[in-house]
A and B are shown apart, each in its own frame.
Chain A
């Protein structure tokens, strides 16, 4: 977007940076869609068709897509190559990267501190029967995901622990798996440390704290409906009759002090909603979590950070006496702990977002982005209600194809921004529409990343418990109607778009620029 020619040009240039060069493509501006188009095709084949939820695989797909697109660019390819650099250094990508790194450290530290063990204790103390267990699981999985921010993590942790316990208590397996996925949707949508929350906020120029506060109303409406649905369905749907006790399984994994991390979680949420920078908010949460881990003996400091010093090192003689170091065989040397693992877990996604933003930049400079946008605005999003409905359905559609929901969110985000800005729809509202479907549908469709990762965990249970047969494993095709929170969240947003519930305009209130994260 070149905006430097008029009288106000200097002012605009200061905002947007130096003028940029357009890229011409053989076959016209629509051909600039090739890099993103090839990537989407790759993602559909990899995740949708083959069922491979490997983010690094998507990185390979985006690299190939960028190379393929280059062959369609006219003239010197230097311009095309430089556009990749320009895209990757955009602030929108950098902000997501920073927030993810912090969120990763925090969530891993909470898990190291036995947060799930605290929730297990709570479930045991509440002493709910099989009929109410899915509803209780939904609440606890929602709490857990709101704390750690990753629905995939919750799907694994709860499928491994709450699922077998619920089966023993007589809960319906399909409903139980649906409740776990529903909890994952809730937290993925609402948590300030969730990767999808972060992407939704930064791509729409909104601060994360404000986004979380503004989406609370939608999330709570959907959650209350889902909770009622789980209570009714829990009583209506029969469970399996297994003559084993759930108590042992609970007691083994119960750790009441793990509930202290509800405080760590609240520190982040409250600090972010109060308007502090998300880096500051998560840093405070991280500090509180580490202190709780050590003081209340939830996890040693070495679980947070550990230097594995090779025995060949000159420091080997004294390093072992440090609380965050141990001497190991040379081949086992390295760094580990929740801070290390939490940040490292996001590395593939970080590279992916940088490359997708580069692909988007090529589409913008090649005119393909504008062509799609013009078509949408002239034919579909012809009024503010239709624009919002287009945003809801468009996000749903992309998420149904790209089942790694953060990748889908990044791909559709520019359109949500542009269509929304066309009608001056507030950045909070845009971020909320974007994230709701992204969070919901990734855990509904049978080929969704969240469903598959939970399913993979369930498949490991027969090998873990003697009484657990493979017939108890819930197939992804069975569970999709029972992810109640996901469906209600999608419904709430569809109705909101059609009726104007929750609609705010840019003129109503502004997001905090200084805390753009």
Chain B
């Protein structure tokens, strides 16, 4: 990212439901254990990404994950946990 673009990034009105592409590698904080499915979830805005793998001890951690599939209409996706990068702040 150039120095100039650092100043301009984010100059837009962002949706509450971001979309993702299959194969995309992302960094997310793991939000919670979904009560219905029992799967780990990362909530990005109102979009929910369900983990194919991973244990409950990564809740709150920042992880590297790969998007396996994404449903644009329902704002739901499935991701694979690759690596735990850090704990959340505090």
Which residues of A are at the interface with B, using a C-beta cutoff of 8 A? 1, 3-9, 11-12, 15-16, 92, 203-205, 210, 213-214, 216-217, 270, 273-274, 360, 364, 369, 383-385, 413-414, 417-418, 421-424, 428-429, 499-510, 513
Contact = CB atoms under 8 A, between A and B. Distances in A.
A216 B60 contact: no
Given A274-B3, A504-B9, A505-B45, A15 B86 contact: yes
A274 B6 CA distance: 9
A180 to B, nearest CB: 27
B53 to A, nearest CB: 10
Interface in B34-75: 42-46, 54-58, 60-62
Given A417-B89, A424-B28, A8 B8 contact: no
Contacts of B10: 214, 217, 428-429, 502-504
B7 A213 contact: yes
Contacts of A360: 90
14 contacts: A6-B55, A8-B57, A12-B57, A15-B61, A15-B86, A383-B16, A383-B46, A384-B45, A384-B46, A417-B89, A418-B88, A418-B90, A500-B16, A513-B86
Contacts of B13: 499-501, 503
A3 B57 contact: yes
Nearest to A507: B26
Nearest to B8: A217
A421 B20 contact: no
Contacts of B16: 383-385, 500
Contacts of A384: 16, 45-46
Contacts of B8: 217
Given A214-B9, A414-B89, A500-B16, A424 B84 contact: no
Nearest to B86: A15
A421 B60 contact: yes
Contacts of A499: 13
A471 to B, nearest CB: 45
> Size range of the interface on B?
35 or more
B18 interface: yes
Contacts of B3: 213, 270, 273-274
Q: Which 3 A-B pairs have the closest CB atoms?
A: A213-B6, A503-B14, A417-B89
A421 B9 contact: no
Given A384-B45, A506-B62, 15 more contacts: A8-B54, A11-B84, A12-B57, A15-B61, A16-B87, A217-B10, A421-B29, A423-B44, A424-B42, A424-B44, A502-B14, A504-B9, A506-B29, A507-B27, A513-B86
Contact of B27 (A210, A369, A500, A506): A506
B1 A8 contact: no
Interface string B20-35: 1000001111010000
Interface of B: 1, 3, 6-16, 18, 20, 26-29, 31, 42-46, 54-58, 60-62, 84-90
Contact of B9 (A369, A506, A509): A509
A142 B35 CA distance: 50
B89 A92 contact: yes
B17 to A, nearest CB: 9
A428 B9 CA distance: 11
Contacts of A503: 10, 13-14, 45
A424 B29 contact: yes
Contacts of A204: 89
B86 to A, nearest CB: 6
B29 A15 contact: no
A52 B64 CA distance: 48
A365 B28 CA distance: 25
A428 B8 CA distance: 13
Contacts of B18: 505, 507-508
B88 A507 contact: no
Contacts of B11: 217, 502
A210 B2 CA distance: 11
Contact of B44 (A92, A505, A510): A505
A203 B44 contact: no
A214 to B, nearest CB: 6
Contacts of B85: 513
Residue of B7, B10, B56 most packed against chain A (CB within 10 A): B10
Given A214-B6, A385-B16, A8 B55 contact: yes
A417 B88 contact: yes
A12 B45 CA distance: 25
A421 B58 CA distance: 13
A423 B7 contact: no
Nearest to B6: A213
A480 B26 CA distance: 44
Nearest to A90: B90
A203 B20 contact: no
A7 B12 contact: no
Nearest to A5: B57
Contacts of A501: 12-14
A497 to B, nearest CB: 11
B61 A12 contact: yes
Nearest to B25: A507
A421 B45 CA distance: 10
Contacts of B43: 422-424
Nearest to B4: A213
Residue of B13, B29, B56 most packed against chain A (CB within 10 A): B29
B45 A509 contact: no
A4 B60 CA distance: 13
B56 A500 contact: no
B31 A422 contact: yes
